[in-house]
Structures are given as structure tokens and as C-alpha cells.
Structure 1
Amino acid sequence: MSTPAIPNPAAPPADARERLLEAAEALIYAGGIHATGVDAIVRAAGAARKSFYTWFESKDALVAAALSRRDERWMRWFIAGTLARGRTPQARLIGMFDVLREWFASAGFHGCAFLNAAGETASPDDPVRVVARDHKARLLDFVREQTHAWAREAGVDSRVASRVARQWLILIDGAIGVALVSGEADAALDARAAARLLLEASAPDSRNPTDSRAPSRRAAQRKEKDHE
């Protein structure tokens, strides 16, 4: 997912509010909130400063609105990419990291806009932090849908599925952070390998439960301990 192009003032005119949001999102994602002034956003939007105050009461309000706009687009992109990766829940879960790798390899990748923005805000009640928190909640909800679908197929308890979803989100955000700092798109592949191990560790014993000759995992562990 590349960074949106900064609006060209010579291009056909668009709604001033949308141009301001597009410019704010692009500039802030590339350079950060504190490093981006209102004047720079107004210039990039090809708008008059008066139009900024017509639509937004402050820079913070503009930033929060721009991030909300990005949240909608990013989630649509990620969900569509994930669903296209496979027909089974497990294939879709693993495929999330292939979707991320494509993003990491793009020229406009600057990490997670929401983690970046949250890192620049001190108060948990800051509107920008609230948008970032809501974005992660939406992402977790989507991941949870997939882990619960996987759990139903694999015979895994729903509580385990919820735990796997939270751990999956950590793998996603961890991959994003490593890719940003290292510049290595293959951080997504490392996270994918860890994700496979997580599913394997969370699934029940693969042996046929109806075969009475196959000892349970716990019984096997006890037997091994008895022979130590």
C-alpha cells in the first residue's frame, strides 16, 4: 500500500476538505505530525488557508480526520487482500503476512501510520490516539473473525482462538516495526513463519482421537518423565 500522492494544484479541482485531508495524510505519514505544519498542508492541498478554518477547528482535528480516512482505506485494502489469499481460514491468516510483505516492499512504506501517530501523542484521550486505538481494534476484530473460523475447523476452543488473535496482532505490528527500522520487506516472512508455529502450538493433537492405541500428549509426557 503506497503513500497517497500529494494533490497537484494544477489538477482538476476537488472538494477543498478532501484535498486538505489527502494532503495532511500524505505529509504526516511521510514526515510525522509535529514536523508538518498547517501551512505546508494548505500549500500541498492547493487550498486557501481560510478553507482550512472553514472545515477544521485545529490541526489536531485535521490530523484525526485524515487518519480516520486512512483507516477506512487501509482496512478495505487489507481485508480484500487477505480474503483473496485463500479459501480456508488458515490460508487467509497466513496470507496476511504475504499481503503485508507487498506493502513493505512498496516505495511509499513508512511503517504503520497509526502507531507512528500514537507515538507522537502523550495523552490516551488525544483524538489522534483515539483514532489509532480504534484502528487497532478494527484490525483485531478482523483477525479474530479469521481465528475463530480457523478454530471451528481445527476443533480449537474459542478462548484459545481469542488469545491467538491477540498474539496475531502482535506479530502483524511487530513485522511492521521491524520492516520500517530494518528496511527489510522479508520481516513479513519471518512473522509468517512464527505465525505457522503459533497455529501448530494452538491446535489440538493431530492424532486420531478415536484410536485408543494412540496415547494422549499428557500421558506420553508422564511416561517420558517416569523414564528419566
Structure 2
Amino acid sequence: MNDITSNETRDVILDVTEKLIYKIGIAATGMDLLVKTAGVSRKSIYRYFTNKDDLVLAALQRRDERWMHWYRSEVGNAETPAGRLLNLFTVLKSWFESEGFRGCAFINTSGETGDPHDPVRLLAKEHKRKLLEYVRELCVEHGVQDPDTLASQLLILIDGAITVALVMGDHQAADNAQQIARTLLNLK
């Protein structure tokens, strides 16, 4: 670890934290496990983060940025506005079928917090707001009459498909949600 720069050390800590939180949750991700898995000292972790809460938030913020970038890029590969709206679900299905899929990190971590004002819950809410805004952009691009309402409905389909895929192990949830989206969009 001596020849790793401080930014690399911070990145390793964040990567390990994110992976552990996604795999086993916030409560089960203790500092001892983080130290052992990251191969860094406790002192190194506290050099970058005041406490576990700050570390968890930083890891989730990075996941938000990376996931949104990935999702927008993949969905944007469709050639038409209608295609991009339907691609919201095609991309989800590929994610559901990927190794290590464990649902939405933001839904999962929100479920670990009881307080609606908890910073983790607020970050999850912000993530969903960004996703809603992106879906709304796609609705506007497609020229729907009421983009706010349709975007809200599609967000429910997105999060519902994610939850069903995780809980039921049903990767077809994305296809089912896409069929409902086709109906809402009046597409065959």
C-alpha cells in the first residue's frame, strides 16, 4: 500500500464500502470488515472520512453518479424518442441478468433507515428525483401531453421492476414493465 497515492487509497476505501453495502447492507458493513476487505488501516479510513456515516454517504454518492451515467448512456443508445423510453426497461433487464445484481442500492439502504430525514434516505430521495427528471426529459423528447404524470408512472414501473427482479428473482419483470409502458405510450 505504500506506493498507492492518497486518491487511490480513498478510491479503494470507497469501492470496498460501496460493494459491501450493496452486498450485505449498511448495518452489516462494520469498520473491522472494511479495514480487512480494503487492506487499509482504520487510521487511513479516518484520514478521509470523519466516521462511518460520512463514508457510507460518499460511497452512495459515487454510486449515484456512476449508475446514472451508465443508465443514461445505455438508454440513450436507442435511436428514437419512443425507443429510448422503452429502452429504460431493456437496460434494466440487462442489469437484472448481470452477476451480482442485488436490486437498487438506494431502495435497499433506505430500508435500513427509519428516519425520513436521515442523510442516507435524503440521498436516496435525490437519486430518485434525478431518475424521475431523466425520465421526464425522455417524455418531453417524445412529445407526450403530460410529461410529469407519465414520468411519475414510469418511475413506479422502473422501481417496481427492480424490486420484483430482486425479491422474486424474475428478470422478466423488466419485460412486463415495458409492456405496461407501451400501453401508457400507446405503442404496439
**Which TM class, normalised by the smaller chain length?**
over 0.9
Structure-2 separation of matches of 1:121 and 1:131: 12
Aligned to 1:75: 68
Task: Give the corresponding residue for 2:25.
Answer: 32
Query: 2: CA distance between counterparts of 1:163 and 1:121?
Result: 28
Q: CA deviation at 1:13?
A: 3.3
* Consecutive unaligned residues in structure 1, runs of 5 or more: 1-8, 202-228
Amino acid at match of 2:56: V
Structure 1 segment 132-171 matched on structure 2, within 5 A: 132-151=124-143, 156-157=144-145, 160-171=146-157
> In 2, are the aligned partners of 1:103 and 1:109 still within 8 Å (CA)?
yes
1:45-194 matches, within 5 Å, as 45-84=38-77, 86-151=78-143, 156-157=144-145, 160-194=146-180
Cα separation, 2, equivalents of 1:35 and 1:198 = 40
Partners of 1:13 and 1:191 lie apart in 2 by 45
Shift of 1:64: 0.7
Greater Cα offset, 111-120 or 125-134: 125-134
Residue number in structure 2 paired with 1:204: none
In structure 1, distance between residues paired with 2:66 and 2:127: 11
Conserved? CA contact 1:172–1:191, under 8 Å: yes
Q: Which has the higher contact order (CA 8 A, sep 6+)?
A: 2
List runs of 5+ in structure 2 lacking aligned partners: none
1:195 and 2:181 are equivalent in the alignment:
yes
User: Is the CA contact (8 Å cut-off) linking 1:61 and 1:127 kept in structure 2?
Assistant: no
Letter in 2 for 1:98: T
- The runs of 4+ residues in structure 1 deviating greater than 4 Å are none
Q: CA deviation at 1:53?
A: 1.3
Q: Which has the higher helix share?
A: 2
Shift of 1:183: 0.9
**Rg larger in structure:** 1
Aligned to 1:41: 34
Note the alpha carbon deviations across 1:146-197, whole angstroms, 9 max, x for none: 001112xxxx43xx11100010000000000000011121110000001101
TM-score (norm 1): 0.78
CA RMSD of aligned residues (A): 1.4
Work out whether residues 23 and 41 of structure 1, in 8 Å CA contact, stay in contact via their aligned partners in 2: yes
Residues paired across the two proteins, number = 184
> 1:119 offset after TM fit, Å?
0.6
